A and B are shown apart, each in its own frame.
Chain A
Amino acid sequence: MSRIADTFQHLREGNEKALILFVTAGDPALKDLTAILEALAEGGADLVEVGLPFSDPIADGPSIQASSQRALDRGVKIADVLEEVSEFARLPVVMMGYMNPMIRSSLAEFAQRARRAGVDGAIVCDLTPDEGTEWIQVARSAELDTVFLAAPTSTDDRLAQVCHSSRGFVYAVSRTGVTGSKDQPWDEAEKLVGRIRKLTALPVCVGFGISIPADVKAVCSFADGVIVGSRLVEWLWENWNGGKGRDKLVDWVRAMKDATRG
Chain B
Amino acid sequence: MNQEPQPGRFGQFGGRYVPETLVPALEELAAEFELAWSDPEFRSTFESLSRDYVGRPTPLTEANRLSESTGLQVSVKREDLCHTGAHKINNALGQCLLAQRMGKKRIIAETGAGQHGVATATVCALFGLECEVYMGEEDCARQELNVFRMKLLGAKVVPVRSGTKTLKDALNEAMRDWVTNVRSTHYVIGTAAGPHPYPHMVREFQSVIGSETRTQYQERHGRLPDVGIACVGGGSNAIGFFHAFLGDDVRLIGVEAGGLGLPTGHHAAPLSAGSPGVLHGSYSYMMQDDDGQVLPTHSVSAGLDYPGVGAEHSYLKDTARVEYVVATDEEALAAFRRVAELEGLIPAFETAHAFAALWQAGLLQPGSRVVVNMSGRGDKDMERASRLLGL
Contacts and interface: CB of A to CB of B under 8 A. Distances in A.
Interface of A: 54-61, 65, 69, 72, 77-78, 98-104, 125-128, 130-131, 133-134, 148-155, 158, 162, 173, 176-178
Interface stretch (B33-41, B171-179, B364-372): B171-179
A73 to B, nearest CB: 11
Given A56-B172, A58-B175, A103 B20 contact: no
Contacts of A150: 20
A78 B286 CA distance: 19
A158 B20 contact: yes
| Interchain residue pairs A-B with the least CB separation, the first 8 | A101-B292, A104-B292, A151-B21, A177-B180, A99-B278, A58-B175, A100-B292, A151-B20
Interface stretch (B11-19, B141-149, B249-257): B11-19
Report whether over half of chain B's contact residues are helix, strand or loop; otherwise say mixed.
mixed
Interface of B: 1-2, 15-25, 162-163, 168-169, 172, 175-176, 179-183, 277-281, 286, 288, 290-294
B256 to A, nearest CB: 20
Contact of A154 (B24, B162, B168, B292): B24
Given A104-B291, A134-B2, A176-B181, A153 B279 contact: no
Contact of A61 (B176, B291, B293, B294): B176
A104 B288 contact: yes
A153 B21 contact: yes
Nearest to B295: A55
B24 A131 contact: no
Nearest to A208: B21
Contacts of B21: 149, 151-154, 173, 176-177
Contact of A100 (B24, B182, B288): B288
A56 B19 contact: no
Contacts of B281: 58, 126
A127 B17 CA distance: 5
B24 A153 contact: yes
A72 B164 CA distance: 13
A176 B294 contact: no
Report whether over half of chain A's contact residues are helix, strand or loop; otherwise say mixed.
loop
Contact of B278 (A61, A69, A126): A126
Nearest to A99: B278
A178 B278 contact: no
A153 B17 contact: no
A162 B21 CA distance: 12
A72 B20 contact: no
A131 B292 contact: no
Contacts of A133: 2
B17 A65 contact: no
Nearest to B276: A103
Contacts of B182: 153, 176
Contacts of A153: 20-25, 182-183
Contacts of A58: 18-19, 172, 175-176, 179, 280-281
A178 B180 contact: yes
B18 to A, nearest CB: 6
Given A77-B291, A103-B278, A104-B290, A148 B20 contact: yes
